[in-house]
């Protein structure tokens, strides 16, 4: 998962994921392009520095899913109260 998919660009629990190395980044970009997203790319930063570089994370990702499809559909993408910790919303 790249950091553009995260609010603030940082995973909630950084202990569960690690940053991908350069080879893994290239393989991920190739795979994304093969899957139909031909314009997908990750920024390598500005010139010789890594400032502004898009991060790519690997590891365990938790995606909460609503059991009730009607409640999920009617929420319109807005978060509802859950039993998750406040920093997980």
Residue span of the structural domain in which 30 resides: 3-79
Return the pLDDT at 62.
66
Return the pLDDT at 61.
65
In a domain, 88, yes or no: no
Q: Are 63 and 29 in contact (CB under 8 A)?
A: no
pLDDT by residue for the chain (89 residues), tens digit each?
787 777 676 666 667 778 899 999 999 889 989 988 888 888 887 877 677 788 888 887 666 665 666 766 666 655 555 555 555 54
Q: CB neighbours (10 Å) of residue 53?
A: 15
In a domain, 26, yes or no: yes
Q: How far apart are CA 52 and CA 47, in angstroms?
A: 10
In a domain, 84, yes or no: no
Number of domains in the chain: 1
Tell me the sheet residues that pair with 57: 19
In a domain, 86, yes or no: no
Cα 40 from chain centre? 14
pTM for the model stands at 0.55
In a domain, 24, yes or no: yes
């Amino acid at each position: 998962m790249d950091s553009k998919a995260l609010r603030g660009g940082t995973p909630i629990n950084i202990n569960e994921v690690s940053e991908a190395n350069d080879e893994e980044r290239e393989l991920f970009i190739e795979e994304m392009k093969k899957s139909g997203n031909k314009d997908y790319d990750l920024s390598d930063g500005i010139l010789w520095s890594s400032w502004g570089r898009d991060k790519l994370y690997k590891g365990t990702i938790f995606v909460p899913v609503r059991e009730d499809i009607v409640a999920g559909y009617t929420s319109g993408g807005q978060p509802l109260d859950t039993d998750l910790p406040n920093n997980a919303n």
